[in-house]
Amino acid sequence: MYQNLLFDWSGTLVDDLPPTLYATNAVLAEHGVPSMDREEFRNRFRLPYPEFYEEVLPGVPIHSLEDTFRSAFRDSPEQVTILPHAVEMLEWCAENEIRTFLLSSVDIGLFNQQAEKFGVLHYFEEIYAAVVDKRQQIGPLLETHSLKKEETAFVGDMEHDIATAHYGGVDSVALGTGYDPLERLKKVDPTHLFDDLRGLLELLK
């Protein structure tokens, strides 16, 4: 089984969809674009996120959106929650000497704040946050830490995560707890597909 697990953050270990939607709508409102509801957002949002913003706010430089996004995210009435089995998963990896890494597009400041709040920061051997295109990072990550491809899997909730695993030549674990619905994830051919982290935990055990 796997000796190394790369984890995505949003939708994989935490549920940040409500504050992300709130912050996205704040950014859209600033540019006079109507709000999206949860369904529309899930249908349209994709990674790498600059593609999404180019579609919804064409021509607007992405760095000009970041301050509004971050402050609205912090002010959101609904906050980030840790997903079921996430702590148990990371704890199990630590006990069984499975090396764990974070590979995520999440803003580094928001990640540190959330990971510390949920008490999971120390579980990661190294953190790769604010990665815009994960496909460009997975090769260097594997090489830097001498991770064998056949012993490694990337766990995520979006098509881009599965594409990243394929690109890096490692297995992929798709979870239905996040942004992309299971039917969409199924189409991109992940190695494993589970409703939530419990499925992965049972597989590993």
Which of 33/48 has CB closer to Mg ion? 48
Q: In the bound complex, what is the minimum distance in angstroms from residue 53's beta carbon to Mg ion? A: 17
Q: In the bound complex, what is the minimum distance in angstroms from residue 173's beta carbon to Mg ion? A: 12
Spatial contact of 124 and 4, defined as CB atoms under 8 Å apart: no
State the Cα–Cα distance between residues 125 and 6, nearest whole angstrom: 10
In the numeric block, which tokens belong to residue 101? 């890494």
Chain residues binding Mg ion by CB under 5 A are 8, 10-11, 157, 178
Q: In the bound complex, what is the minimum distance in angstroms from residue 26's beta carbon to Mg ion? A: 20
In the numeric block, which tokens belong to residue 179? 């942004």
Which of 161/171 has CB closer to Mg ion? 161
In the numeric block, which tokens belong to residue 45? 């949002």
3-state secondary structure at position 60: coil
Which of 20/152 has CB closer to Mg ion? 20
The answer to whether the Cα torsion of 122, 203, 157, 189 is positive or negative is positive
Which of 93/178 has CB closer to Mg ion? 178
Which of 28/176 has CB closer to Mg ion? 176
Q: In the bound complex, what is the minimum distance in angstroms from residue 164's beta carbon to Mg ion? A: 11
Residue nearest to Mg ion (CB): 11
Q: In the bound complex, what is the minimum distance in angstroms from residue 47's beta carbon to Mg ion? A: 8
Name the burial class of residue 177, with classes exposed (0-12), middle (13-18) and buried (19+) by CB atoms within 10 angstroms of its CB. buried
